[in-house]
Amino acid sequence: MMDPLSVPQVGQMVRILKGRDAGGVACIIGIEGSRFVYIADGDKRKVDRSKKKNVSHLQLYEFVSPEVKNSIEQTGRVTNAKLRYAISTFINENNLLMEGE
């Protein structure tokens, strides 16, 4: 039985552990199978150029953004502005320090 926190969800916040964007926070906007997700942050990584990442290269946070989740469930997409807002709110509320900024 997998830990529910290790199962990625649309709208979930993640910290990128590997790759060019390592250290950054992004949001899951799509899921492909059990190992891969599509992430975007609405800024450097826009929704229409979302990055396919292996889940093992991400640290999943418990927080799932209701705005992002509802937008994707209802319309199949989310705006970059909504992603930026959700991520900045998450970072501010959790006092996370962004590496490389």
Residues near 15 by beta carbon (within 8 Å), at least 6 away in sequence: 23, 24, 25, 58, 59, 61
Tens of pLDDT, residues 2-47: 455 568 999 999 999 999 999 999 999 999 999 999 999 999 999 9
> Domains in the chain and their CATH numbers?
4-94 (2.30.30.30)
Tens of pLDDT, residues 37-77: 999 999 999 999 999 999 999 999 999 999 999 999 999 99
pTM to 2 decimal places: 0.90
* Residue indicated by tokens 């469930």: 73
What is the token pair recorded at 53?
Answer: 């990442």
